[in-house]
Amino acid sequence: MRLLPEPAMKWVSHSPFRPKVIGLLDSQFNDVISQEKKEEIKLAHQKIERLAEIVKDQEQSFLTSLQMLTSLRTAILL
């Protein structure tokens, strides 16, 4: 999933792969997409783009949290 936002992964938005990719995304991540985005997304390319945004946002949140924990650990050890 972390590769989805990368330019090399644009092929997933093109035929003949798009229907299969969207089927997988719908079955695995429909709840996540619905929670993160309030309006309903119907078009396949919108789902792929939104999931790529969610991946980027979650990655950034993870890195921020990790940095906070690392800073806290460093402060405790000093």
pLDDT digits 0-9 by tens, 58-71: 899 999 999 999 88
Q: What domain range is 43 assigned to?
A: 7-77
Torsion sign, CA atoms 18, 24, 29, 31 = positive
The whole-model pTM stands at: 0.62
b (16+ CB within 10 A) / e for 42-59: eebeebbebbbebbeeee
Is residue 13 in some structural domain? yes
- Taking residues 11-27, report their average pLDDT: 84
* Percent of residues, the chain, with pLDDT higher than 90: 14
Tell me if 25 is assigned to some domain: yes
**Is residue 17 in some structural domain?**
yes
